[in-house]
Amino acid sequence: MMAKQSVTEYLLSSPEVADLYKRATESQFLSLAGQGQLPPDVLCQWLSQDRLYAQAYIRFAGGLISRVKLPTTLDGQDITKTLQWRILSLLQNAMAGVTRELKFFQETAKKYELDLEALGPVAEGDNLSKKSAGFGPNKVTKDYIDLFDSFSAQPHGNLSRTLLDGLVVLWTTEKAYLDAWTYAKQQASENANTKGDLDGGALRKEFIPNWTSEEFQAFVKECQECLDAYAASQDEDTEEVAAASSMAIFKKVLVLEESFWPMVA
């Protein structure tokens, strides 16, 4: 099965996830966002949750870094040329990138007068008839935080969570995010004017260009290549077990991604 395919090819080509992947990356929320017609209150509620997600992502990246084992013997090889070093560099870039993202959230929210602590349900799993008593993660965000924290550095993390599992989570989240915002970008005509945008142009001037940039595309590509290379380096005797585990994680993340987008009319 995976002998002729990379792990990411295996996951993306599986018929059992095709519809799930589409739902995770092509929601009505994204369609309206790309057209500049997403209500500002819905945008604020989603951004508030995405900011909490980003904060948990930092702990997640740190937990994966703690799982990287650099080679102790090199036999004359340059340590910076090893796969372990490449993965370590990827994770350092992931942590630096999300740190910049949090600052970007703050600056853009101030520029467009967006509330990053907006209350209200923003995901399918929430009770839509109630608002939280105070600001915090909704159900789906909490599930994402719990997933990220299961990879955190010991003693709080889950010992059974492997670096391979974590790389699957990392790649899936970033790949789905890129494809989702690329879909949103495609919903507007090339010469669309942002003057009539409900959010003042925040999404189409700032957020969408950031989340579909060449830099972000390169990062997602590096996530994929590191995952494929690391999976290929594993013991062939455990290949089927690793494939099943990777598929289960892939599906779990896609379910979270689908539910993370707010329901809008």
| Concatenated DSSP letters of 10-77 | HHHH-GGGHHHHHHHH--HHHHHHHHT-S-HHHHHHHHHHHHHHHHHHHHHHHHHHTT----S--TT-
Q: Scanning the structure block, which residue is given the tokens 């790389």?
A: 167
3-state helix, strand, coil in the chain (%, to 5): 65, 0, 35
Domain ranges of the chain: 12-260
Q: Are 141 and 123 in contact (CB under 8 A)?
A: yes
The CATH architecture annotation of domain 12-260 reads: Up-down Bundle (1.20)
Amino acid 124: pLDDT: 46
What distances in angstroms separate CA 164 from CA 68, 238, 241, one per listed residue? 10, 12, 12
Per-residue pLDDT of 87-104, as tens digits, reads 999 999 999 999 999 999
Q: Are 257 and 41 in contact (CB under 8 A)?
A: no
d(CA 219, CA 243): 23
Give the length of the chain. Answer: 265
Q: Are 204 and 188 in contact (CB under 8 A)?
A: yes
According to DSSP, residue 72 is labeled: S
Amino acid 155: pLDDT: 58
Give the relative orientation of helices 83-112 and 214-232 as an angle to the nearest 10 degrees: 150
Give the relative orientation of helices 239-260 and 18-25 as an angle to the nearest 10 degrees: 40
Amino acid 120: pLDDT: 63
Q: Scanning the structure block, which residue is given the tokens 């209350």?
A: 119
Q: Walk along the chain (265 residues) in steps of 10 and give the mean pLDDT of each run.
A: 79 95 97 95 96 96 94 81 95 97 96 89 45 76 96 71 96 98 89 84 96 98 97 84 93 97 88
Of all helices (H) and strands (E), which one includes residue 107? helix 83-112
Amino acid 156: pLDDT: 59
Q: Are 69 and 85 in contact (CB under 8 A)?
A: no
Q: Are 204 and 36 in contact (CB under 8 A)?
A: yes
Question: pTM surpassing 0.85?
Answer: yes
d(CA 210, CA 84): 29
| Type of residue numbered 252 | K
| Type of residue numbered 225 | E
d(CA 77, CA 173): 33
Amino acid 258: pLDDT: 97
Q: Are 236 and 4 in contact (CB under 8 A)?
A: no
d(CA 246, CA 242): 6
Amino acid 209: pLDDT: 96
